[in-house]
């Protein structure tokens, strides 16, 4: 490496490659490597330290120091120059190492005679797994090219350690868990259930196989071409309104474009290619360095950018390796647990459901639409699993506990056994739910409660019979629109609605008209940039401004329901006039059918969602006009508390079991009773047995929930004395507490109510 420009490092890399292919023992190979490096750099010493037990750097191999110090000398991360390199994940280049304040000397190594030192971290996935350094007796100045070359060698060593099954020798720094150690993360439950399987990284890091270049010039050309292709593909993505394939938002793409066009990035990669790596390996190495730097940032904004840069590097690698732009279904294992930062509902549906055991999102809250789809598919899901993507590799074993929000990465045998047992226990519980599915849904004191399903896709329909639900309380028609790549035609809509009605048979289905906008983006519709999309142009607002969309849908629904009952409701009604307008459109369509003597539904039942607080103060005007009201607790409560349902930072900030919420809901119950109008609640609040219990205590007699919730909620209500609960709750309404959860839990416990 003294003559880096004359191909020194490349010769070394070639010899390392031969060494990688050799059949010798791991220790022998490491000994040979340090020997080769020392020879190439013309250094008296080359030593390799690997991290053990999370925080100690152990001398694993040396050329030049005393051989008996190997596996004896240990330094903490942060201790001495070696520890300093590991702690900061950056090189040190010191012509007078002993003058450095961090210098410490270990007598067993005999290193006191060496003056100059050049050391670099060994990084894998941006994490420090060890340190490699050279030392000389003289006060030697190592050049920047030499540092660069040693970093390249360190990357090859990192790959070799992993490929040769040597990772159990090296481990992580004291902050992060090592890639091969068990790791535990706790998140928030989105969809319950237990899953044991293997990690599939949504847009996983591409594995680079060929590290060492045959010909530097052709590698540079490959890289330049791939960067050009990447830039064009990002431009193309940005220029079309179809962002669904990107699975990212526009701003992210704009950031990609900015990063992709960053000249410094390309220049860095070319510099690395010149040290002898392939184009792929140079992308990976530069990204490793970036990760190492950025993972030490505490600023969440900057850490977030890291994922963007990771994605970009991945896309570039996919271009280089000739893979398609997405990885959703590439070689999905039969027990896939998909890990993503976040994703949209359509992206989840790209995965083969039969192979999908679980979903883990770094962000993502329980009201987001991907969460709703995950629940509809019965996929155990955990959100807010902070930092998981930094600690997991493709194909790692994972256990996901959707009851408690716990995630075990690379679990130990005893955890696997405990969870296998837990999974069996759950299966027994499921069997109990199944056993009561044909039993009456009635409280101990004889009050009938109608339990219904929330659905939105044909895949949901089998749940009707399986769960014993009375009907579909909410059919989200927008899901068909969200997963399609073009606007579904009226005929396609009719087909779906009639298949739904066919499968539901005698059970009623409440279709909600299109609820798009907000977080429900249609890939083929030009997205307007809105400052507050949840409060923006969405749902019925779009429908009333673009009546042809609603008209086609209503025609499709009326057509599908011919000779059968049709239950319809409108989303996001904020004022009575909006309901009146939408209802008038339906009446007009019905009259049209009558006029032309076309088949019509046997009965038309039209109601509204109640999810905008303003409507609560218009109930006296509204209730005489509607057949039913269905509370959308997801939106109603996000507006009620002014806390974004899709923002994990605030979505769970306020407890829905608070006097404020209970009083508000109670006032709606009272009004609906006064006007004798059927009241339902179809938000996620009904999913949890304790919350469902509180709803019954408030006077709700009909609720709609995700399929997995029916069994537990039914079990709960069959053990409940509703009149007793109603009396108990009277004492709660005037309380000033932020939450009444504990009181309600106590009540359930004392009364022997099965809340799971």
CB distance 50 to 161 below 8 Å: yes
Kindly state the smallest distance separating residue 476's Cβ from ligand PEP, in Å: 5
Collapsing DSSP to helix, strand or coil, 746 comes out as helix
Q: Is residue 635 a contact residue for Mg ion (CB under 5 A)? A: yes
Q: In angstroms, how far is CA 41 from the centroid of its own chain?
A: 45
Contacts of 670 (CB under 8 A, 6+ apart): 699
Query: Which residues bind to ligand PEP, rule: CB under 6 A?
Result: 474, 476, 515, 611, 632-635, 682-683
For tokens 């607080």, the residue is: 613
| Strand ordering across the sheet containing 116-124 | 74-76, 56-63, 45-52, 127-136, 116-124, 92-94
Which residue number, 229 or 575, has a Cβ lying nearer to ligand PEP?
A: 575
Single out the catalytic residue among 202, 463, 552, 682: 682
For residue 474, the partner it binds in ligand PEP, Mg ion, none, with Cβ less than 5 to 8 A by kind, is ligand PEP
Q: Is residue 646 a contact residue for Mg ion (CB under 5 A)? A: no
Which residue number, 173 or 515, has a Cβ lying nearer to Mg ion?
A: 515
Q: Is residue 518 a contact residue for Mg ion (CB under 5 A)? A: no
Which residue number, 10 or 369, has a Cβ lying nearer to ligand PEP?
A: 369
- Supply φ then ψ for residue 476, to 5 degrees: -80, 95
Kindly state the smallest distance separating residue 479's Cβ from ligand PEP, in Å: 9
Which residue number, 12 or 514, has a Cβ lying nearer to Mg ion?
A: 514
Kindly state the smallest distance separating residue 679's Cβ from Mg ion, in Å: 16
Which residue number, 347 or 515, has a Cβ lying nearer to ligand PEP?
A: 515
- Supply φ then ψ for residue 531, to 5 degrees: -70, -40
For residue 51, the partner it binds in Mg ion, ligand PEP, none, with Cβ less than 5 to 8 A by kind, is none
Collapsing DSSP to helix, strand or coil, 227 comes out as helix
Q: Report d(CA 238, CA 242) in Å as an integer.
A: 8
Contacts of 103 (CB under 8 A, 6+ apart): 80, 81, 97
Which residue number, 8 or 571, has a Cβ lying nearer to ligand PEP?
A: 571
Kindly state the smallest distance separating residue 574's Cβ from Mg ion, in Å: 12
Other C-beta atoms lying within 10 Å of the C-beta of residue 414: 8
Which residue number, 64 or 683, has a Cβ lying nearer to ligand PEP?
A: 683
Active site residue 369: yes
Kindly state the smallest distance separating residue 629's Cβ from ligand PEP, in Å: 13
For residue 111, the partner it binds in ligand PEP, Mg ion, none, with Cβ less than 5 to 8 A by kind, is none
Q: How many residues sit in the footprint of Mg ion (CB under 5 A)?
A: 3
Kindly state the smallest distance separating residue 513's Cβ from ligand PEP, in Å: 12
Could you say which of 121, 170, 632, 646 contacts Mg ion (CB under 5 A)? Answer: 632
CB distance 181 to 387 below 8 Å: no
Kindly state the smallest distance separating residue 732's Cβ from ligand PEP, in Å: 23
Which residue number, 306 or 705, has a Cβ lying nearer to ligand PEP?
A: 705
For residue 682, the partner it binds in ligand PEP, Mg ion, none, with Cβ less than 5 to 8 A by kind, is ligand PEP
Contacts of 491 (CB under 8 A, 6+ apart): 556
Contacts of 151 (CB under 8 A, 6+ apart): 91, 120, 275, 285, 289
Active site residue 46: no
Q: Report d(CA 654, CA 598) in Å as an integer.
A: 50
Q: In angstroms, how far is CA 348 from the centroid of its own chain?
A: 10
Single out the catalytic residue among 369, 463, 567, 656: 369
CB distance 345 to 373 below 8 Å: yes
For tokens 């025609």, the residue is: 555
Length of the chain (residues): 756
Q: Report d(CA 284, CA 154) in Å as an integer.
A: 13
Kindly state the smallest distance separating residue 675's Cβ from ligand PEP, in Å: 22
Beta strands in 162-242 (DSSP E): 183-186, 188-191, 194-201
For residue 289, the partner it binds in Mg ion, ligand PEP, none, with Cβ less than 5 to 8 A by kind, is none
Q: Report d(CA 210, CA 273) in Å as an integer.
A: 13
In which region does residue 646 sit, left (phi positive, over 0), alpha (psi from -120 to 50) or beta (all else)?
alpha
Which residue number, 119 or 646, has a Cβ lying nearer to Mg ion?
A: 646
Other C-beta atoms lying within 10 Å of the C-beta of residue 294: 18
Q: By C-alpha distance, which of 181, 165, 154, 134 is closest to 26?
A: 165
Q: Which of residues 570-629 bind Mg ion (CB under 5 A)?
A: 611
Which residue number, 682 or 753, has a Cβ lying nearer to ligand PEP?
A: 682
Q: At what angle do helices 659-675 and 633-640 cross, to 10 degrees?
A: 130
The separation between the first and the last C-alpha atoms of the chain, rounded to the nearest angstrom, is 66
Q: Report d(CA 726, CA 719) in Å as an integer.
A: 15
Q: How are beta strands 336-340 and 356-361 bridged, if at all?
A: parallel
Q: Report d(CA 337, CA 194) in Å as an integer.
A: 11
CB distance 52 to 72 below 8 Å: no
Q: Report d(CA 651, CA 653) in Å as an integer.
A: 6
Collapsing DSSP to helix, strand or coil, 49 comes out as strand
Which are the catalytic amino acids? 369, 682
Question: Which positions touch Mg ion (CB under 5 A)?
Answer: 611, 632, 635
């Amino acid at each position: 490496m003294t003559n880096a420009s004359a191909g020194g490092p490349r010769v070394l890399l070639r010899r390392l490659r031969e060494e990688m292919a050799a059949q010798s023992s791991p220790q022998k190979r490491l000994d040979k490597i340090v020997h080769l490096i020392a020879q190439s750099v013309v250094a008296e010493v080359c030593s390799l330290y690997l991290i053990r037990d999370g925080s100690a750097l152990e001398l694993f191999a040396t050329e030049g120091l005393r051989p008996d110090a190997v596996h004896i000398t240990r330094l903490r991360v942060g201790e001495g120059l070696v520890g300093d390199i590991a702690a900061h994940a950056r090189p040190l280049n010191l012509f007078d190492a002993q003058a450095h304040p961090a210098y410490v000397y270990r007598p067993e190594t005999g290193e006191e005679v060496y003056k100059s030192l050049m050391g670099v971290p060994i990084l894998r996935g941006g994490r420090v797994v060890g340190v490699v350094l050279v030392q000389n007796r003289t006060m030697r100045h190592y050049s920047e090219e030499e540092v660069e070359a040693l970093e390249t060698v360190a990357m090859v060593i990192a790959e070799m350690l992993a490929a040769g099954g040597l990772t159990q020798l090296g481990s992580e720094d004291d902050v992060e868990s090592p890639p091969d150690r068990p790791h535990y993360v706790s998140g928030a439950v989105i969809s319950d259930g237990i899953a044991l399987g293997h990690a599939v990284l949504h847009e996983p890091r591409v594995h680079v196989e060929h590290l060492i270049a045959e010909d530097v010039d052709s590698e540079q050309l490959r890289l330049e071409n791939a960067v050009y292709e990447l830039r064009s593909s990002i431009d193309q993505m940005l220029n079309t309104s179809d962002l669904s394939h990107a699975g990212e938002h526009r701003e992210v793409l704009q950031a990609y474009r900015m990063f992709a066009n960053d000249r410094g990035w390309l220049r860095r990669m070319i510099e690395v290619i010149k040290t002898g790596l392939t184009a792929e390996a140079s992308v990976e190495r530069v990204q490793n360095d970036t990760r190492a730097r950025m993972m030490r940032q505490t600023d969440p904004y900057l850490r977030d950018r890291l994922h963007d840069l990771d994605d970009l590097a991945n896309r570039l690698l996919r271009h280089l390796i000739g893979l398609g732009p997405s990885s959703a279904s590439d070689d999905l294992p039969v027990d896939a647990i998909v890990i993503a930062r976040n994703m949209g509902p359509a992206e989840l549906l790209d995965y083969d459901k039969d192979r999908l055991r679980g979903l883990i999102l770094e962000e993502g809250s329980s009201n987001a639409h991907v969460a709703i789809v995950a629940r509809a598919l019965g996929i155990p899901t955990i959100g807010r699993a902070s930092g998981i993507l930094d600690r997991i590799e493709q194909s790692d074993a994972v256990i996901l506990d959707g009851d408690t929000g716990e995630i075990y990465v690379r679990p130990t045998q005893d955890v696997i056994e405990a969870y296998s047992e837990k999974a069996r226990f759950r299966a027994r519980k499921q069997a109990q739910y199944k056993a009561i599915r044909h039993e009456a849904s009635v409280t101990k004191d004889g009050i009938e409660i109608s339990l219904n399903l929330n659905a939105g896709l044909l895949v949901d329909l089998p749940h009707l019979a399986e769960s014993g639900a009375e009907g579909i309380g909410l059919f989200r028609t927008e899901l068909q629109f969200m997963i399609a790549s073009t606007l579904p035609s009226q005929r396609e809509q009719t087909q779906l609605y009639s298949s739904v009605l066919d499968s539901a048979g005698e059970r009623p289905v409440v279709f909600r008209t299109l609820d798009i906008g907000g977080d429900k983006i249609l890939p083929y519709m030009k997205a307007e940039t809105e400052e507050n999309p949840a409060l923006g142009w969405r749902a019925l607002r779009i429908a009333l401004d673009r009546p042809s969309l609603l008209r086609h849908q209503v025609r499709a629904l009326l057509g599908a329901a011919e000779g059968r009952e049709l239950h319809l409701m409108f989303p996001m009604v904020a004022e009575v006039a909006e309901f009146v307008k939408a209802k008038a459109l339906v009446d007009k369509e019905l009259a049209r059918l009558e006029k032309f003597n076309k088949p019509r539904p046997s009965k038309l039942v039209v109601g509204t969602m109640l999810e905008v607080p303003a409507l609560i103060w218009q109930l006296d005007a509204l209730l005489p006009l509607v057949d039913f009201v269905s509370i959308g607790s997801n939106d109603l409560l996000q507006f009620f508390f002014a806390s974004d349902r899709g923002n994990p930072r605030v979505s769970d900030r306020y407890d829905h079991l608070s006097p404020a919420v209970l009083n508000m809901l109670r006032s709606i119950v009272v009004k609906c009773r006064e006007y004798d109008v059927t009241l339902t609640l179809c938000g996620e609040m009904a999913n949890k047995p304790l919350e469902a219990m509180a709803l019954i205590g408030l006077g709700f007699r009909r609720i709609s929930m995700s399929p997995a919730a029916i069994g537990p909620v039914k079990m709960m209500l069959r053990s409940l004395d509703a009149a007793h609960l109603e009396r108990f709750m009277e004492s709660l309404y005037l309380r000033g507490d932020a939450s009444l959860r504990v009181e309600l839990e106590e009540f359930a416990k004392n009364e022997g109510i099965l809340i799971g």
